[in-house]
A = this chain, B = another copy of it.
Amino acid sequence: MAWPIESGRMNASDPLALLAVAIEEARTGQAEGGVPIGAALFTLEGTLLGKGHNRRVQDDDPAMHAETSAFRDAGRRPHYRDTVMVTTLSPCWYCSGLVRQFGIGHVLIGEASTFSGGHEWLAEHGVNITIVDDPGCIAMMTTFIDENPRLWYEDIGEVTDIADRPC
């Protein structure tokens, strides 16, 4: 993990503290019975602008992935170049598109082992990507996918015949 890669403005001891905010969001979503993915948007100096978690189950809303939820919570800004999107999981194409379109300069990712979205594409387009490879994030997603495959595949738009485990 190299952090920060180029900005030099963020305290190098901060990434795990930033990730902790996204993990807390993921755990809140998990406790609500939802998809346990959390995200938070910070300034490069570490000021929290917004946070949120996947709300597919809670709000019956397929558009509210964690990163979109955090972005929405942060609200309107003239631009997002000086911000960091922190997420517990590699951003899917939808959320990667969000990062690219709004010019978010940095993405800090808890893990990209259980799912790999568009973070390499973002890196090719100049976004500063840091992957923590956090064991807690990996365990949380591994358990979730194992217990809720249908919900998981619905959340990433893939078709599956696997049924979720009965409660």
Contact = CB atoms under 8 A, between A and B. Distances in A.
A41 to B, nearest CB: 11
A141 B61 CA distance: 29
- How would you classify the secondary structure of chain A's contact residues: helix, strand, loop or mixed? loop
Contact of A93 (B75, B77, B100): B100
A20 B79 CA distance: 32
Nearest to A100: B93
Interface string A45-75: 0000000000010001111100010011011
Interface of A: 56, 60-64, 68, 71-72, 74-81, 92-98, 100-103, 117-118, 154, 156-159
Given A56-B76, A68-B68, 5 more contacts: A62-B76, A93-B100, A94-B100, A94-B101, A96-B97
